[in-house]
Amino acid sequence: MKKSMVAVAGSVLAAVLALSGCGGSSGTNQNANGGSSSASPNPKSTSGDTIPNGGTKSADKTLEYYIAHPGGEKTVALTFDDGPSGVWTPKILAVLAKYGVHATFCEIGPNATANPSATRAVIAAGDRLCDHSVHHNEAMSSRGTAYETSEIVDAKRMIEQAGGPGTQVSWFRAPGGDFTPEIRQISADNGLRPLAWSVDTNDWQRPGVATIVSTVKKELRPGSIILMHDGGGDRSETVAALNQIVPWLQQQGYTIDFPDM
């Protein structure tokens, strides 16, 4: 049920993407379908979202919508998808450094290969890495196990090679939230936790800085995982919004942290 709802939402947004051309690649960024993460998992499903049919023990983990379940500590996570970008990732890192906070970067493998200095800058800043596939196919579950595996494993290897020896990739975020039990299993088999999100800023659509900021203020809960983008096109709105969101979070008493590992 939930899977089909996500798939429908993804299709609708893919159509919007095709019409608007939003999130298209620019400069050194590669993004196979010109898109960005779109379908937003339903935060309300968090508490019950265990793997159906028992799964296997290695995949027996909840899908990670929150770094802690809502109602807990005032802690949130910032996540940035579709990079790295030689242009925008450093600007986002600079904002994070200015406020002394950290984030998780979900990188597309070929973008890491194209911009290894950006991947290394993420590591050097003490931030963390997440695998966001090779081709950003938001329907990767429709292509079978071998394809899913290569999307996950090859991207992980590209990110590790970009980052250099010792690079740790800790999560997998399926493009479009296309998390099936099989995709979670493949992730788990490769040492990656599934990382979803609970606040979708839709920054990739460039809705305006004020809208990005107000979406966070409206939807934020303790434990939220906030989705933004450092890749997929001009991210100047994201950078400007982040410059407001981080100090606002700190004023509200939130700690900004990584998702659980």
Residues in touch with Zn ion (CB under 5 A): 36-37, 81-82, 175
**Smallest gap, in angstroms, from Cβ of residue 28 to Zn ion?**
17
Going by C-alpha positions, the residue among 136, 72, 81 that lies closest to residue 104 is 81
Return the active site residues: 81, 229
Cα–Cα distance for residue pair 217/210, rounded to 1 Å: 10
What proportions of the chain, in percent to the nearest 5, are helix, strand and coil?
Answer: 45, 15, 40
Query: At its nearest, how many Å lie between Zn ion and the CB of residue 52?
Result: 25
* Residue (46 or 133) nearer to Zn ion, CB: 133
Question: Which of residues 242 and 254 has its CB atom nearest to Zn ion in the complex?
Answer: 242
Q: Nearest distance from residue 190's CB to Zn ion, in Å?
A: 19
Residue 15's closest CA among 33, 29, 30? 33
For the beta carbon of residue 26, count every other beta carbon within 10 angstroms.
Answer: 15
Residue with the two structure tokens 């002394």: 100
The smaller minimum CB distance to Zn ion, of residues 81 and 237, is found at: 81
Residue nearest to Zn ion (CB): 37
> In the 8-state DSSP scheme, what is residue 80?
E
